Copies of this chain bind each other. A is one copy, B any other.
Amino acid sequence: MTRGSPKGPIVVVNPNSNEDVTQGMREALAGFALPGGPAIECVTLTEGPFGVETQEDSDSVVMPLARMAKERTDASGFVIACYSDPGLEVCRSVASCPVFGIQESAVLTAMSRADLFGSIALSPKSILRHRPYMRRMGVLGRLANIRPLNMSVAQSHAPESFPRIVEVGEALKADGAGAILLGCAGMAGHRVALEAALGVPVIDPVQAATGMALAQALVAG
């Protein structure tokens, strides 16, 4: 197994070029940076589109991510912080450290907390992308449901959307979900309040992937 430097940073790449989103990740991940452990370095993919919304947007960042994954030989972990996990395979084939996708990590983390999990998507269109991805993972038997907010990324981020997010979360609980995934980085700011409102674990995918990267880095360390 190839391995980067066990003491090297965990590199968390925001594949869109919106630096505000990267800054939000830095804040959400602050708790993972412990003395003696690897640094958590959040970086922006400057070649990326301002937002990743379509399949074209998503595929457009694959080769730039592969180049970055190949270059960062100092990293102890590499996190692709976009929910469609663009470039996960190619980054794994060229990186010298473990590579984590945030959707994959969120699903696996949810599976350690509940028998069935549910996912909150932005739109029916994104559901059509997420379901085959989970089928490829071979975990559809653990999926309670994916339900759409019918919102844009920006709307999902706004505080006034919280009641709608709770409503979708409750519907997923009625579908049998014992843990809930936030299916877009835009919702990360609602995690703590949503977990309190729903009474079941709510998973922020960027945190999930970074946590898995940290755990792996400490094994290697």
Chain A residues at the B interface, C-beta cutoff of 8 Å:
1, 31-32, 34-37, 54-56, 58-60, 62-63, 66, 87, 89-90, 93-94, 98, 100, 104-105, 108-109, 111-113, 115-116, 124, 127-129, 131-133, 135-142, 176, 178, 195, 198-202, 204, 207-208, 210-212, 214-216, 218-219, 221
Contact = CB atoms under 8 A, between A and B. Distances in A.
A207 to B, nearest CB: 5
A211 B218 contact: yes
Contacts of A109: 108, 212, 215-216
A55 B90 contact: yes
Contacts of A210: 215
Contact of A56 (B90, B133, B195): B90
A126 B124 CA distance: 29
A108 B100 contact: no
**6 closest A-B pairs (Cβ-Cβ)?**
A211-B215, A136-B136, A138-B141, A34-B34, A35-B35, A108-B108
- For A1, A98, A100, A201, the residue with the greatest tally of chain B CB atoms inside 10 Å of its CB is A1
Contact of A112 (B89, B100, B178): B100
B218 A32 contact: yes
> Copies of this chain, how many?
6
Nearest to A127: B176
A39 to B, nearest CB: 13
Given A139-B138, A141-B138, A216 B212 contact: no
Given A93-B54, A212-B109, A201 B36 contact: no
A3 to B, nearest CB: 9
A59 B137 CA distance: 20
Nearest to A209: B112
A198 B104 CA distance: 25
A210 B139 CA distance: 23
Nearest to A98: B113
A193 to B, nearest CB: 13
Nearest to A199: B1
